[in-house]
Structure 1
């Protein structure tokens, strides 16, 4: 069954919109041939394509693109281009609004897809035209209708000659004569994988289910018929019906679980992914060290994507701009560009960058979709632990904050040195030579010393150390209350 696709011949307009009439008048698009392909068909199609007849090869490609892994790998590279930001800027580096509206359309996305198809099919074509409403249309030309050897577009995919496209100023044709794209290299693995799945399903049908053996009496043929009827209605598992006197040898197949079929399938998938994407771990899960290896494989995929972006950008600037210029669009002094996308930053990286550069809050609110707080609304923030307050009884009221910070550091150092000194016992002064002096250890407390002096009669009525301890503690309390009142109450000393 054939389907005709007819395009009307556009009239030549005046002014900036002057254009040549469309060359394509009628293309007969036929459905691809669907059959069970083998590697022999692939080689036959390749030899035919080498001689200039590409119909059989591209029918094979269209049939193999049913494979999920292959089609997904191809689509990932195309999506990397269509999802990237594209701009058209003039000589001053400013965006052109008319071109921005055209870029942000389904027609432009279809144009980018057709340009990328050249990578996989070896050739691609698109017809650019404006409809009655003035909107741009991109009509794809099937690869098997493009004859690069004779520089023409075939009306029937089996023809050798057709309509020349070199004189048409609204048709974009890409590709080289002996280049059949990436799909040519992936085709054998897709064919092997498809055949391997068929063998695997047959193995499961034969050995994946337990076999049933029915024995009947040789002198009772009716029992054989009853066994056959019973096995037919008892499910699809394989069965064997033999006489009781017969001997049957059953080979154990438990040692073979069909893992070789799965390994063959995985090998075919890996070869196709390596051919299309240059790596495997961004599409398939790894085993050991998957995260570190995945980062390396992601770099390989990113390099492929950057190469595709450069290819599409050059095609747009060298081939598409002249076509658009002849249609009167403001593209004479401009060019297409894919801006370099910035690497995503984590919150910790943004916090570190805020120490060396000024980051506007509006950018962060837009990036993380955080609304601005309303007046009086509670704000969620991390609570900072305040440093412990250091009390200095000898400090004056006019000390600055810098002095307080220095005292805190000084007190901290003094505390460490004090603990270090307390670790050692105090050296005796009197009686060190005759051994009559008592050594005071760092764990000797005030209570122990007072009790010792009372017990030995050294302190009868007045203990100076005990008095100093009590008076210091009392003065410390008085100074604390006095300082708090000075900080919180304003006094008028004029009276």
Structure 2
């Protein structure tokens, strides 16, 4: 294996690209709506797009807004907690690769794939060696529109960096022109931050009583003594007003006496961010008018969103780029694929089984359907067990019984002829019902699989 990455327009790339980048800490300056507009304008430029300002703003709102970071981590954890396995071309699990993806390195790769949904792009540089190791490429240096990685975060051309297609151990995840879901959330996070400042000021001013002292404007000695009293009696808000002056304090308590205006604004911003990230609000915080039905519906919407994320992660993990990198570490991935082991929804599975049982009375259903639908492992000696089960079911004591061994009951003299009897009122308990037969056959069929 070569210890150098492939050539670039500037010559040979360094041993590790990350060591050749000029890393700059995020900008922690004041962020407002105008800052967001400027950042988006810079990122969407046609000829020289640059996401530096935008990603500095993303970093600020993500780390400082607990609600936003919480719902993002929640969506990522939904994926991280699912069971991921690798299967070879014969459909058997390769435990070595499965354990690799469950390690810290594997889980962090999946995290970077999910983070590309919110940031728009993620970058990984794999280290050459026998063990899978990698480092994250700072997003501010990735220019997906141009297909390059620049040494400086303000670089805009290939002359100031390296082409991504020339770096075999660099994996860039995300769409070319996608700025991520944090773009919509940033506006609400900025508004909410300003709202919290106003709320804190409201509490500071009106959260404690105000001391007002009136004095004669011409009595300077009294004014001096009163000021000394106020200074020694605590730090709460106090005012000294001449008696000759007219004073009126408009505090807004008539329309916002308890501060609910700021709280309602904060909740509105949180709900908008939750809808953007999770697709709903009920799985994180419940509204006043919510009930079980609404919460259940939102929970099912969350399941659909998670299912979509799992498909996306599978597609990235099964890409030729990652499989080639894993192959370079000595893993046998030819013909294999990553797949999630989905957990069954018991309530939905029960309803589906009832439907399947009714359909089995009308049309034949293949045995593999039951195994796949209900996630039952198919035994290796399936054909042998299937044959034995058919033999047991072919022998039915009710049908093999000799008619001569059953004595005929004497017919009473006063019993009516068969022609006079109503066949609809007769019930034959000597034969099992069709549903009972099917349930018994289904139980006999799956019992050997559990052994």
Give the aligned partner of residue 26 of structure 1: 20
Q: Which one of 54, 57, 62 corresponds to residue 54 of structure 2? A: 57
Higher helix share: 2
Aligned pairs (5 A) from 1:57-456: 57-65=54-62, 66-131=64-129, 134-160=130-156, 161-251=160-250, 253-255=252-254, 256-257=256-257, 258-318=259-319, 319-343=321-345
Give yes or no for contact 1:107–1:137 (8 Å, CA) kept in 2. yes
Deviating more after overlay: 320-329 vs 269-278: 320-329
Write the distance in 2 (CA, Å) between the matches of 1:211 and 1:21: 66
Give the aligned partner of residue 38 of structure 1: 32
Q: For residues 243-288 of structure 1, give each alpha carbon's deviation from its aligned partner in whole angstroms, at most 9, with x where no partner exists.
A: 2344433447442222211111111111111111111111112223
Distance 1:150 1:22, change over 3 A: farther
Write the distance in 2 (CA, Å) between the matches of 1:296 and 1:343: 14
Distance 1:144 1:250, change over 3 A: closer
Normalised by the length of structure 2, the TM-score is 0.69
Write the distance in 2 (CA, Å) between the matches of 1:266 and 1:138: 40
Give yes or no for contact 1:88–1:336 (8 Å, CA) kept in 2. yes
Query: Shift of the alpha carbon at 1:331?
Result: 0.4
Give yes or no for contact 1:110–1:138 (8 Å, CA) kept in 2. no
Give yes or no for contact 1:279–1:301 (8 Å, CA) kept in 2. yes
Q: For residues 332-356 of structure 1, give each alpha carbon's deviation from its aligned partner in whole angstroms, at most 9, with x where no partner exists.
A: 121000012122579x99xx9xxxx
Bigger Rg, which one: 1
Distance 1:330 1:22, change over 3 A: farther
More RCO (CA 8 Å, sep 6+) = 2
Normalised by the length of structure 1, the TM-score is 0.63
Deviating more after overlay: 191-200 vs 243-252: 243-252
Match of 1:30, SS state, is coil
Give the aligned partner of residue 10 of structure 2: none
Distance 1:104 1:227, change over 3 A: same
Q: For residues 416-475 of structure 1, give each alpha carbon's deviation from its aligned partner in whole angstroms, at most 9, with x where no partner exists.
A: xxxxxxxxxxxxxxxxxxxxxxxxxxxxxxxxxxxxxxxxxxxxxxxxxxxxxxxxxxxx
Match of 2:21, SS state, is strand
Write the distance in 1 (CA, Å) between the matches of 2:25 and 2:232: 42
Q: Structure 2: any 5+ residue segments left out of the alignment?
A: 6-12, 355-451
Match of 1:213, SS state, is strand
Give the aligned partner of residue 10 of structure 1: 3
Q: Structure 1: any 5+ residue segments left out of the alignment?
A: 1-8, 13-19, 353-495
Query: Shift of the alpha carbon at 1:292?
Result: 2.1
* Equivalenced residues, count: 334
Q: For residues 365-422 of structure 1, give each alpha carbon's deviation from its aligned partner in whole angstroms, at most 9, with x where no partner exists.
A: xxxxxxxxxxxxxxxxxxxxxxxxxxxxxxxxxxxxxxxxxxxxxxxxxxxxxxxxxx
